[in-house]
Structure 1
Amino acid sequence: MQRQDVIALTFAIIVAVFILGTGQWAYGNLYGPLHNYSKKPMVDIVSVSATNFDNHTYLLLNITDVNGPDAYQTSIPIIVVSNTTFSLTLNSTQIYTHTVKIIQAPWNLNKKDGVSRVGGLELWLGSEATYTIIVSKLQPGSYTITLYVPEVPAVSASFTVSAGA
C-alpha cells in the first residue's frame, strides 16, 4: 500500500469514529441505545358533548395531540362510549363510517386532521380538531368516552346526554 492510501484510510477511520462518537455523546450515552422521547403521542380531550337528534346521537369530540412525532399523525383506532349499563365500541372502520364532519383549528393550516378506515381518527402534532361522530341514540345520562391510542395509556372524559330533542 502506498503512503497516500494509508493516510486516506486513517483519515476516513478517524472521521467515522468522530461522527459516530459525537452522535452518541450528544444523546447522553456513549454505547447505549439512542432515545427519542417525543416519539409517543399524547392525545388530550379538550371537550366532548352529545346531542340527540333525529333518532341518533351526535358526539362532538374536540381533541388535540400535544406531544409526539411531527413526521406522521397520531391514530385513534378504537373509541368506547360507556356508562354503568351500556357500552358501545367503535373500531377504525366504524369510526370512518360514522364521522360526518371534521372542523380544523384555525392555526392548523398545513396538515389536515382526518379519518381513515385503518387508523380511525388521525391527528397531527400540535393540531386540534372537532370530530362529529354519529352513533345510535344514547339514553339520557352520564357517559364516559375512552380513546385508545396505540402504545400509550387510554384517554377518557365524561359527558352527559340530556333528555331533550
Structure 2
Amino acid sequence: IYAIGEIGIDLHWDKTTLEFQRTAFKEQIKWAKDLELPIVIHCREAFDEVFEVLEEERDSLLRGIFHCFTGNLEQAKQAIDLGFYLGIGGVLTYKNSGLDLVLKDIPLDKLVLETDSPYLAPVPFRGKTNESSYLVYIAEKVAEIYGVGIDEVASVTTANSKTIFGI
C-alpha cells in the first residue's frame, strides 16, 4: 500500500451528504496517519470544506496529492502550504481551463502528472477514453508553461511521485 485514496469531499451531485463525507474524510485521514501514508484527495466543488478538514488535521504526517487539481492560484498555494502536491491531468490542455495561468506561479517541484482514466483525456483526445499513454500530452503542456524540456518535466514530476509514495 502506497497511499490512502482517493478520499475527500465531493459536493457536485449532493450537498446534503457533507457531514457524512466530512466524518468519513477525517477517519480516512486518521488511517493514513496511523499507517504513515500519504493521501490522494478527491475535491469537487468543495475546496473550502476540504481545506477546513485539512487545517484541523494538519501535522507532520499529513501529506499527499490533490488529485486532478483544477483550483485557482490561491487554492493551489493553500494546498502546497499544507504539504500537498498538485496532481495535473488532461484538464490542463483544455482551452479555457485557466490552469495554465495558475501553474505559472507554482514551482514545477510541486506537481505530479496523472490521468483521471477513463475520464478527462487531454487534447487531442478530449471526449475519448483516457489512458496512461496520453500523459505525454500533459507533460508537453507543462514543459511549454515552464519553458523547459519534456525530459525535465518527466524527471522532476517522477521524482516528486517517488518522494510522495516513498519509492
Which structure's relative contact order is higher, taking Cα pairs within 8 Å and 6+ residues apart?
Answer: 1
Give yes or no for TM over 0.5: no
TM-score (norm 2): 0.23
Q: Which has the larger radius of gyration?
A: 1
Which has more strand, going by share of residues?
1
TM-score (norm 1): 0.24
Which has more helix, going by share of residues?
2
